[in-house]
Structure 1
C-alpha cells in the first residue's frame, strides 16, 4: 500500500458517507468530527481566479469555523466535487500552521466575505502538488462511492481492495 493510499484510507474511515448521498449531511458530519462549523459560499469564478483558484474552490479557515468558497456557476455535481476536494484537504491535514500569516484575499472576494478575520486562506497556490493530488483523489473516490449502493455508514475501500 502506498503512503497516499494509507492517508486516503484513514481520511475516508474518519467520517462515513451518508446513504443516500447528501453533501450537506456529509458537511455536518465532517464539521462535527472537526468540532468546527463549515459553511459554503458560492462566488463568481472570476473572483476565485483572482485568488489563484484554478480549481474553482478555496478553503478559508477562521479561528472557530471554516468556509468553503466555490464557483457559483458550477453544476450541482461539480460543486459537490469542489466541496469534497476542500474537505479532502481538511481531513488529510493539509492546513498550514496557525502561526503562519493568512494569504491575502482579493478586494472583490473580501467584499463578499464581510468580517472575515481569516487565519488561513488556502487555495491551490498554498498546497503542493502532492497535497493537491491527494485532495483530488479523495474527491474523485468519494464521488464514486457516494453513488454506489451500500450499507449505511460504511466507508469506501480504496481502489476496490478490502481493508
Structure 2
C-alpha cells in the first residue's frame, strides 16, 4: 500500500487560500532556503538520504533521528518533532525508498523552516499507532496542525530538494576540449 502525502492538517483546520503574492513570496523564500542549505550541506553523489541527514546533523550541531512508522489510513505519512536535544522525524515504513525520501525531505523542510503546530492526538491513540514509541512523544509528533502556507512551503522545499538529489549532473567526456567543454565543466561544477 502506498501512503498518501503528509496529512498534517486536521480536516477542520485546512487554512484558507494563499493569495498570489503570498505564493510568490513562499516560492522565492523556498528556493533561497534550498540554495542556502545545499551550499552548506551539499548533496551526496550517489544520492543517499542517510548521508545527507548526517551532513545536516553536523551543520546544525544537532542529531536527527529517523523513525519508520506503520501507515494506517487517515494517519499522517510523516512528521517532525523538535525534542530538547535532537530532532525526530517519522516516516512511513512500507513504501518505496523514493517516497520515504520525499516524506523525510518534507519533514526536514518543516524543521529547517521551524514551523510550529498544535497537537491533535491523544496519548492512547498514539500508543495504538506506534506501540514501541513513548505515547506522549508520538502524540505530539504525528498530528500537529500547521497552516496551508506551512504545508505548501514544506512540500515545495521537498520537491526542490528531491529534484536536486535525484538529478545527475551532466557527464563531461575526459578528453573533451574547447569552449563547449569548458562551459560543460563549469555547469557540472555548479550542479555537483
Match of 2:87 in 1: 66
SS of equivalent residue, structure 2 residue 81: strand
- Highest RCO, 1 vs 2 (Cα 8 Å, sep ≥ 6): 1
Q: Does 1:87 align with 2:108?
A: yes
The answer as to 2:33 corresponding to 1:11 is yes
More helix per residue: 2
Report if aligned partners of 2:30, 2:153 keep a CA contact under 8 Å in 1. yes
What residue in structure 1 maps to residue 168 of structure 2? 149
Gaps of 5+ in 2: 1-20, 170-187
Deviations 1:115-158, CA, capped at 9 Å, x for gaps:
x7749935464211111011111111211111222357858xxx
- C-alpha separation between the residues in 1 aligned to 2:121 and 2:143? 12
8 Å CA contact 1:61–1:120 kept in 2: the answer is no
Give per-residue Cα distances to partners, 1:12-53, cap 9 Å, x unaligned. 12233222211011111222222211111111102881xxx2
Q: How many pairs are equivalent?
A: 146
1:47/1:112 CA distance change after superposition, 3 Å: farther
Can you give the 5+ residue segments of structure 1 that lack an aligned partner in the other structure? 156-163
Q: Are the aligned partners of 1:63 and 1:118 in contact in 2 as well (CA < 8 Å)? A: no
